[in-house]
Chain A
Amino acid sequence: MFWTKNKGGKKPGTTIIGLVYSGKAAIGTDFDVSKENCDEIGLVDSCRHALVGFTGDPKGSDLPKKFVHKLDTCEDLQNTCREMSHQWQTDELFSEISGKLVALGRDYAYLITPGKADRIDTGIIAVGPGEEYALAAIRAILAQPNVEESVEEIVKKAFNVAAGVCVLVNSNATIISLN
């Protein structure tokens, strides 16, 4: 935007918005596959009460499936996230994949990058070109005195707001939830 400081231009790619709120979770992606860098995302709803999303290299499109598989054997979401980040950093096959993995449980949200698994205590995760606007939008909705929207609706609204402000975000988002 011309009236803010230029932050050096944004890289096009997929935006992922995840929200964990009062025992419920929802995650969405705008699946905006651009030709230049071909960012891609896989979305998987796992059997162990977790949602997972990936944004980054198309080579990493198997990562969500691997994560779910790991979660089946490991059971604990936090440990799975840790192991996943460890494997991502050390495993030769994984280490060339660049991107970010988002995992949502009923209580916490995790952001996984190679060698790092951060627990996001606020429960709001937004990655990709529209991240800051989505974050502001979700915080604004949750700061209302009575929140009547479901987590899915909040994520949908965040996408609409982000798409309205940032040209790199597509408002036609795919959203899945954990109720």
Chain B
Amino acid sequence: MDNLKSNIFHGTTIIGMKLNGKAAMAGDGQVTLSEMVFKAGAKKVRKFDEYGVLVGFAGGAADGMALLQRFEEKLSEHGGNIPRAAVELAKDWRTDRYLRRLEAMIAVVSPEHCFIISGTGDVVEPDDGICVIGSGAGYALAAARAILSSSKPPKDPVEVVRRSLEIASEICIYTNNKISVIDI
């Protein structure tokens, strides 16, 4: 991930989470080209309505799109079974020697599952149901955990992801506060 600096879409924060049978995902809108803010209102989160899945990507834009497309193909192959699709996607990197290393990551969230899938074939299911990717991931994760540990945590995941991303956008220079939120 070291040479992300030269790519479009370097730096982004995506946070997705499942909470109380609901799922929400938020992404910022900043596209950074080395040291320039190239675009401020990009949409980096998508909803696959037919499978009830929220996805977001960070890293190289074209690679992110390629990863999303592969994931959607796997979803349709396996009848919308998310863990199966994620594992099958990772298997491709093991078996196909010619598969390119895609310099992007995607976060996948549904009310039952959440996964982080990287373009190099890693699949991670976070224990606490919070998926974060991108340059401000650590800040967003810390903020989300802090919000959930506060005395009156919000019941709606939409609220939690929005607030966490606002905090991340204040701290991370590659993340702005034009936040798009989607939920199921």
Contact = CB atoms under 8 A, between A and B. Distances in A.
Q: Do A and B bind each other?
A: yes
Nearest to B137: A4
A137 B135 contact: no
Given A133-B138, A136-B140, A161 B145 contact: yes
Given A3-B132, A136-B138, A136-B139, A161 B2 contact: no
Interface string A147-162: 0110000000110111
Interface string A136-152: 11111101101011000
Contact of B147 (A6, A140, A158): A140
Main secondary structure of the interface of B (DSSP, over half): helix
B139 A144 contact: no
Contacts of A132: 138-139, 142, 171
A41 to B, nearest CB: 22
Interface stretch (B42-50, B64-72, B161-169): B161-169
B36 interface: no
Contacts, number: 92
Interface residues of B, number: 35
Contacts of B116: 3
Contact of B150 (A5, A135, A139, A141): A141
Contacts of B26: none
Contacts of A162: 142
Interface residues of A, number: 28
Contact of A164 (B135, B145, B151, B168): B145
Contact of A157 (B133, B134, B149): B149
Contacts of B163: 140, 143
Nearest to B116: A3
Contact of B141 (A6, A134, A165): A165
A152 to B, nearest CB: 14
Contacts of A164: 145
A135 B147 CA distance: 13
A8 to B, nearest CB: 10
Interface string B122-148: 101000000011110111111111110
Contacts of A161: 142, 145-146, 149
Contacts of A140: 142-144, 146-147, 150, 163-164, 167
B170 interface: yes
A137 B139 CA distance: 8
A139 B150 CA distance: 12
B142 A160 contact: no
Given A1-B137, A4-B138, A136-B138, A148 B151 contact: yes
Nearest to A144: B150
Given A4-B133, A141-B146, A148-B151, 11 more contacts: A3-B116, A3-B124, A133-B139, A136-B171, A140-B146, A143-B167, A144-B147, A144-B152, A149-B150, A158-B146, A165-B141
Interface of B: 1-2, 4, 11, 105, 116, 118, 122, 124, 132-135, 137-147, 149-152, 163-164, 166-168, 170-171
14 contacts: A1-B138, A3-B105, A3-B116, A4-B133, A5-B135, A133-B138, A133-B141, A136-B167, A139-B171, A140-B146, A140-B163, A148-B151, A148-B152, A164-B145
